[in-house]
Structure 1
């Protein structure tokens, strides 16, 4: 199969390299994103040690452009809360239905500290279908696609997937159920194969230093990431406490698998909190598809 690489993939690949820096944050909270609580209350005009970590986070997740005029060392030590950071925080707040103060206030710091998917949000590319069935841009409202709407070719609706889950054998049923959920609301069918070389979709558990350019950040922080069609890669963070169902301080495999498969099929994040394609997934939480997710996958493949 010939792999199509969208602009989103190249941006995502480069931005993932930022996570190794974020994971080294020193904080009173052991979470990789715990530094947000330490910086709570920061606002434009402040110079606070650690603000550069907020900039890295917002760059990675699509709210702040990279500063090409600065060296990497300069970016990593830039602790000025400037106009660009204020605008990026307002964009984040708007997307997640928070009051757009531009300040790293308590609700914003709390939201940013939550465990989530590693795929950027793409807040400016959110699609909605109006009452006449036409697709149009609608920022901060419903389901979304990746830039340029990558999708699987019309004749390729039966997809083979491989699953390397030796370290987490309980994942097999959870992943199969997640594929079944998407098969039930779309024209796709899925079949597991033991041969990764023939698989359209390749799923595995990885850890922070596994050496293929996709660093994770240890327990908490980023839970998983996947790519848009037709790349096919999907990685769970092997350092998380993965479980089946609702267990305190643990992450449900099927919920995360269903979310990441949505990315594999072409759906980006939505700001609809109840949807499976919402970026943040909390410990002790389970979710499934809602109408927003169903409308999104059908719109992508019938539009």
Structure 2
């Protein structure tokens, strides 16, 4: 009787594990946006006319889409971009869909165009100059560069800032953003006054500002940062930055803290993640707040620096794609084993 009970319990627990697996497939597009009808002053709104096109199609302006894919690392050559959906563009679209967790079709379906039109970080997804190494879903820059000191200093430019958010509020945003990363790794961050000597230099610029990565206007590239030990973190001054959507009525407002937290990840050595809930995913919709590190972010940064001895897992770190390796993610297995042991003793 007890042996029969054992088999019944084992069967139902296995059934639960099959029906409710620990790892859940990610949604096919970021949950916070659908940008097909986004305001027409965003940088890439013209790409909406390419929805449902595929190899062999030819449309005026498709060469601009190729420039987009080149800019973010999906095309290797900048020579002779035409308006034809050729094999090179198809390869770029396939790579883009695979990298960003979209349905892989090789066509410019609505999910892909929606993703392309989103405001995003200016750092390349698959760097055309430096190979990016993928580990699971998070990624590192070539050579896995990192800082070697335990305390990093940061400072704000005295001449390249915005004036509609107070300096103290901007300080608070970055203090919180740095603190999130510091809670996971044995690295501290300290604000200093000397911008020139600081390890991390934070400034707001617009257009071409001399670093080879020109900003491109509203709701295009939001910000960019450089891998260790460069330390430059630049935000697009033309964006409408916000720290509280309740007090910002703009429908193109961008959450400063979300972008700051993302760019600090680059400063520390993380490239873009393919997990769309992760901080290191490249895009962020307007009026969207996304500040919590996910397990994918944590695992990536701890691969570079080790774990903060006081680090604690919190439920806010969970995401669909990370649930397969969350602490306690194999609970069904352990409960099954424990019940089998108990029943074994009874038998």
Q: Distance in 2 between matches of 1:101 and 1:158?
A: 46
**Partner residue of 1:127 out of 114, 124, 134:** 134
Task: Please provide the CA RMSD for this pair.
Answer: 2.1
**1:301 & 1:28 partners in 2: Cα distance?**
41
Whole-Å separation in 1 of the counterparts to 2:254 and 2:212: 24
- Which 5+ residue runs of structure 1 have no aligned equivalent? 1-26, 129-137
Give deviations 1:10-66, integer Å, cap 9, x for gaps: xxxxxxxxxxxxxxxxx9932111121022222211221111111111111111111
Query: In the TM superposition, what is the alpha-carbon distance from 1:80 to its structure 2 partner?
Result: 1.6
TM-score for the superposition, normalised by structure 2? 0.70
1:6 maps to: none
Instruction: State the partner residue of 2:196.
Output: 197
Once the two structures are superposed, the pairs formed by residues 222-301 of structure 1 within 5 Å of their partners are 222-246=221-245, 248-287=251-290, 288-301=292-305
Q: Does the 8 A contact of 1:249 with 1:283 survive in 2? A: yes
User: How many pairs were matched up?
Assistant: 256
Give the TM-score taking structure 1 as reference length. 0.79
Whichever of the two has the greater Rg, that structure is 2
Q: Distance in 1 between matches of 2:302 and 2:210?
A: 36
Q: Distance in 2 between matches of 1:48 and 1:127?
A: 34
Is 1:163 the counterpart of 2:140 in the alignment?
A: no
Corresponding residue for residue 217 of structure 1: 216
Question: 51, 58, 66: which one pairs with 2:69?
Answer: 58
Q: Report if the CA contact (8 A) 1:122-1:146 is conserved.
A: no
1:96, 1:261 → 2: CA distance?
Answer: 20
Q: Distance in 1 between matches of 2:210 and 2:270?
A: 27
Kindly tell me: are residues 242 and 166 of structure 1, through their superposed partners in 2, closer, same or farther at Cα, counting changes over 3 Å?
closer
State the shift of 1:118 in Å: 0.5
Q: Alpha-carbon deviation of 1:127? A: 3.4
Note the 1:145-184 alignment, pairs <5 A. Answer: 145-153=140-148, 156-164=149-157, 165=161, 167=163, 168=165, 169=167, 170-184=169-183
Any residues of structure 2 matched to 1:34-53 within 5 Å, and which? 34-53=45-64
- Does the aligned pair in 1 maintain the 2:58–2:85 contact within 8 Å? yes
C-alpha displacement of 1:126: 4.9
**CA–CA distance in structure 1, aligned partners of residues 207 and 49 of structure 2:** 24
Give distance in 2, aligned partners of 1:243 and 1:166: 11
- Give the deviation of 1:279 after TM superposition: 0.5
Aligned residue in 2 for 1:19: none
Gaps of 5+ in 2: 1-37, 308-347
1:107-145 CA-partner distances (Å, limit 9, x unpaired):
1111100011010112884533xxxxxxxxx4xxx1111
> 1:134 corresponds to which residue?
none
Residue 318 of structure 2 corresponds to none
**Residues 292, 33 of structure 1: alpha-carbon distance in 2 compared, 3 angstrom cutoff:** same
Q: Is the 8 A contact 2:162 2:237 kept in 1?
A: no
| In 2: Cα distance, 1:120 partner to 1:214 partner | 11
Query: In 2, distance between residues paired with 1:101 and 1:295?
Result: 30
- Pairing partner for 1:144 from 127, 139, 142: 139
Give the alignment of 1:63-74 within 5 angstroms: 63-67=74-78, 70=79, 74=80
* Displacement of 1:302: 3.9
Q: CA deviation at 1:236?
A: 0.6
Per-residue CA distance 1:253-283 (angstroms, 9 max, x = gap): 1111000000000001101111111111111
- Preserved contact between residue 219 and residue 252 of structure 2 (Cα < 8 Å): no
Question: Counterpart in 1 of 2:113?
Answer: 109
